[in-house]
Amino acid sequence: MKLLNRSGIRSMLLGAAVILAMPMSLSAQDFAGKTIEWTIPFGVGGGTDVWARFFAPQLSEALPGKPTVVVLNVPGGGSISGANQFAKRASHDGLSILGTSASTQYPAILGDPRVRYDYADWTAVLASPTGGVVYIDPKYGVTGPKDIEKLRAEEIRFASQGATALEMPVLLGFKMLGLKIKPVFGMESRGAGRLAFERGEAGIDFQTSSAFLNSVKPLVDAGKAVPLFSLGVVDANGNVSRDPSFPDLPTFVEFYEQATSGKPEGEAYEAWKALMLAGYSLQKMMVLPKDAPPEVIAAYGEAAKTIIDAPDFRQRAGDELGDYKQLVGSEADAALKAALTLDPGIRKFLTNWLSEDYNVRM
């Protein structure tokens, strides 16, 4: 047997020390015994929270080693507070992930001075499109576009996270319809907005598909809420079609056309479509720091693919989140990069509107 000299022994011990110092479970794509902290920058009960809690146990099962996945709600600033915190504190070993929404994207692409995060620093491994529904208190006697004048005659409170948050295209849609909606800003999530509606503090509300299906449909069934329209689905060419999760509801565009006897057009409509593409075509995303080890990012992508390829996934997702095609891995990340691009003319229109109507300065 060949003996090692002192130099060889030192090299062997040094190599062993380096190996022992490495986070072995991660370098081997094995998360066994680990806890993954999934930051959700919203309160409990909103659409993003429902989405994350749907995926969390499946992610735990699909990742190598079946780690514990803990959803951490960090509400505030319409998701800006939690996203800022993630950008500052997230580990880069795959044990920190973030769930984002349109409320996280809109301020970033518009240059909100409160934003301390940069999507360019993150890699998306899962992107979930979504839709949403606007509904109203039955006390107003409004059931559809034929009641537009009755709707315009009322000043109605709308509990909102903020002018640049998830409900941004909804606020713009209200303006296009000529409604006197009075937003009350500061809600920590859309879930908090729904609770304000249930308490009678707001007369009109909006929820994304997952929250509507889980929390608002029972109100509709009980006669405590009347759906007016869905936002619809906007494709890359700007065409608007009915939401597959709400095929019996008119889209915003259909509602507008029936209410005004004309088609939406001009800068406001172009801006509305751009917001829908940037915030709803891939609204909810699971992201990691981009400098996480490539094998870890790949493991998340494979886990996401395993989840959505399950034979019963579409049925379960349809019941919980709505019927939308999920994007995973490199496809999700490429879609994220595309969503960050906003035409300068549209950005100018939006910043002027936000300044004039809500005194929000970018």
Q: Residue 32 carries which side chain, given as an amino acid letter?
A: A
> In angstroms, what CA-CA distances link 318 with 1, 130, 132, 281, 315?
65, 11, 14, 16, 5
Residue ranges of domains in the chain, CATH in brackets: 10-129+281-344 (3.40.190.150), 132-279 (3.40.190.10)
The pLDDT assigned to 28 comes to 52
Cβ pair 13, 21 in contact under 8 A: no
The pLDDT assigned to 19 comes to 36
Q: Is the pLDDT of residue 312 over 70?
A: yes
The pLDDT assigned to 304 comes to 97
| Whole-number average pLDDT of the chain | 89
Sign of the four-CA dihedral 214, 216, 218, 221: negative
Cα gap 276→102, rounded to integer Å: 9
Cα gap 290→286, rounded to integer Å: 12
Cβ pair 225, 204 in contact under 8 A: no
Q: Residue 183 carries which side chain, given as an amino acid letter?
A: P
Q: Is the pLDDT of residue 13 over 70?
A: no
Q: Is 71 exposed, middle or buried (0-12, 13-18, 19+ CB in 10 A)?
A: middle
Tell me which residue has tokens 């380096």: 18
Beta-bridge partners for 261: none
pLDDT, tens only, 146-179? 999 999 999 999 999 899 988 999 999 999 999 9
- Nearest-Å Rg of the Cα atoms of the chain is 23
Nearest to 271 by CA among 334, 207, 344: 344
The pLDDT > 90 percentage for the chain reads 71
Pairing assessment for the beta strands 122-128 and 284-289 based on DSSP bridges: antiparallel
**End-to-end Cα separation, the chain, in angstroms:** 73
Beta-bridge partners for 21: none
pTM for the full predicted model = 0.79
Alpha-helical regions (H) of the chain: 6-21, 24-27, 47-62, 80-89, 102-110, 148-152, 168-176, 190-198, 209-211, 217-221, 252-260, 266-279, 294-308, 313-320, 329-339, 344-358
Instruction: Report which DSSP code applies to 4.
Output: P
Q: Is the pLDDT of residue 18 over 80?
A: no
Q: Is the pLDDT of residue 16 over 50?
A: no
Nearest to 259 by CA among 125, 122, 144, 346: 144
How far, in whole angstroms, is CA 58 from its chain's centroid?
A: 19
Confidence of residue 29 (pLDDT cuts 50, 70, 90): confident
The pLDDT assigned to 47 comes to 85
Q: Which residues 6+ apart lie within 8 Å of 107 measured at CB?
A: 78, 80, 114, 115, 164, 165
Cα gap 333→327, rounded to integer Å: 9
- Phi, psi (rounded to 5 degrees) for 240: -110, 125
